[in-house]
Structure 1
């Protein structure tokens, strides 16, 4: 399965976390789209208003399966090697999910004030369609 991570490409925290995820995954499971790329978001029927609620994770094999905000962060964690153990433990702690959701909302709503805003939008080296492009390049050589 492959997933698309939609992130705020102007947020310093968001970009740093995407870069960490890129270094772990190396484009094997996740592809990335900044929320500022409205053309690609339109392909998934995602509006700028949708993005105001936080990062979005889409299952490319079944695009109707989407997670947003802290749920997306948890699902990404669950999909990483050994991540399921930590996410399961987190979800099992009484009140942790509720507190995590509130914490995410505070960070989301104040991210530029707390972490700053980039002067240019970050575009991942693993964008949507990257694997198809790489496969086409290999088959043409």
Structure 2
């Protein structure tokens, strides 16, 4: 993991860089992560492709966000649950949704993922972080 996070100190959230919904999720996390614990990378980037491959996902698969945290990979609904678990305040209470069957959570996640471009749109290119946020993007 030397190329991406040599000290394994920060969870890395991989997202579809052209998906408006995915970019909104990234912005949601950034705004609620005052300690800047999360790092971000588009799935389309070299780091995104490298980690996707390590997670066992085909390189062209862009239908799930991926979280790499402390040597473990999370996909689909588990990503959102792991992220809110680490956010301060009441957001961490949403982790309680983990009691729902994973099959139900993932079926809902996959339904939204299949329709995300139609419902939320798509950018022509990956988002470019502001200079202030650039250090959080790999």
Instruction: Name the TM-score, length of structure 1 as normaliser.
Output: 0.73
1:9–1:123: 8 Å Cα contact kept in structure 2?
no
Aligned counterpart, 2:59: 48
Aligned counterpart, 2:98: 91
**Larger of the two Rg values belongs to structure:** 1
SS of corresponding position for 1:15? helix
Go from structure 1 to structure 2 and tell me whether the alpha carbon gap of 1:26 and 1:84 turns closer, same or farther (over 3 Å shift): closer
Aligned counterpart, 2:30: 22
4+ residue stretches of structure 1 with deviation over 6 A? none
Aligned counterpart, 2:114: 109
User: How far off its partner does 1:58 sit?
Assistant: 0.3
Q: Distance in 1 between matches of 2:111 and 2:30?
A: 25
Q: Distance in 2 between matches of 1:45 and 1:100?
A: 21
User: Number of aligned pairs?
Assistant: 120
- 1:1-141, aligned counterparts within 5 Å? 1-26=9-34, 28-37=36-45, 39-44=46-51, 46=53, 47-49=58-60, 51-59=61-69, 62-63=70-71, 65-82=72-89, 83-88=91-96, 90-92=97-99, 97-124=102-129, 125=133, 126-128=136-138
Go from structure 1 to structure 2 and tell me whether the alpha carbon gap of 1:13 and 1:69 turns closer, same or farther (over 3 Å shift): same
Aligned counterpart, 1:135: none
Indicate the structure with greater helix content. Answer: 1
Q: Distance in 2 between matches of 1:109 and 1:84?
A: 27
